[in-house]
Structure 1
C-alpha cells in the first residue's frame, strides 16, 4: 500500500510542477514578474519553487517537494499566511481562477512580446478572501 501512495504523491508533484511552469509563463505574458525553478531531471521533476509578484509589494510562493507542499503569501516582505498540503493547492487554484476572471474580458490573447511593450498589469486582487494569520496557523500546531 505505501509504495502505491508514494507513487501517487510523486505523480501529484509532477502534475503540480507542470502546472506551476504554465502559470509562471502565463503571468509573465500578462506583464507580472513570476518564476518557477524546477528541481530534478527533465523527465522526472522532483519539486519546484514558484514565486509571483502580484503587485503592490504582494508576493506568493508555492513550493512542492518530496517533503511537502506549501503556499506562503507576503506583503511588504512580511508573511501574511501559510498553507500546507491540500489548503496550499486550494490557494493555488484560487489564484488561477482569479487570473481567469481578470482576463475573461480580453478579446485578443496577449503574446510575450506584447507584454514587454505594455505597462505591467494592475495588481491581482486577493483581498476579501479567507485568510488565516500565520500566528493562528502556528498556534493550532502547538
Structure 2
C-alpha cells in the first residue's frame, strides 16, 4: 500500500510542476511578473518554486516537492498567509482562475498598476 501511495504523491507533484510552468508562462504573456523554477530530473527529488508579483509589493509563492506543498503570501516582505497541502492547492487554483480571467495589463485604462493589484489588495485567503 505505501509504495502505491508514494507513487501517487510523486504523480501529483509532477502534475503540479507542469501546471505551475504553464501558469507562469500564461501570466508572463499577460504582462505580470511570474517565474517557475524546476528542480530535479524525473522521479527523484522533483519539485518547483512558483513566484508571482501581484503588484503593490504583494507576492505569492507556491512550493511543491517530494517533501510537501506550501503557499506563502506576503506584502512588503512580511508573511501574511501560509497554507500547506490541499489548502495550498485550493488557494493556488482560486488565484490562478482569477488571474486567468482578468483583463490583460495592456487593456487596463490605468496602466500604472496591473488590474489584479487593485482587486487583490487584501490577503487572498
- State the TM-score, normalizing by the size of structure 1: 0.74
Shift of residue 128 of structure 1? 6.2
Are positions 1:85 and 2:85 aligned together? yes
- Alignment of structure 1 residues 116-127 onto 2, 5 Å: 122-124=114-116, 125-127=119-121
| Matched-pair contact (CA < 8 Å) for 2:62–2:70 | yes
For the 8 Å contact 2:80–2:123, the answer to whether it is kept is no
> Aligned residue for 2:55?
55
Query: Shift of the alpha carbon at 1:96?
Result: 1.3
8 Å Cα contact 1:64-1:70 kept in structure 2: yes
1:8-87 correspondence to structure 2 within 5 Å: 8-41=8-41, 43-44=42-43, 46-87=46-87
For residue 31 of structure 1, give the secondary structure of its aligned residue in structure 2. coil
Which digits, 9 at most, give the CA deviation of each residue in 1:100-139, with x for residues without a partner?
Answer: 3314xx7xxx9xxx8xxxx6761423356763xxxxxxxx
Larger radius of gyration: 1
- RMSD, matched Cα: 2.3
User: Per the alignment, do residues 130 and 32 of structure 1 end up closer, same or farther by CA in structure 2, a change over 3 Å counting?
Assistant: closer
CA distance in 2, matches of 1:39, 1:15: 14
Structure 2: runs of 5 or more not aligned = none
Q: Which TM-score applies when normalising by structure 2? A: 0.84
Instruction: Give ranges in structure 1 of 5+ residues lacking alignment.
Output: 132-142
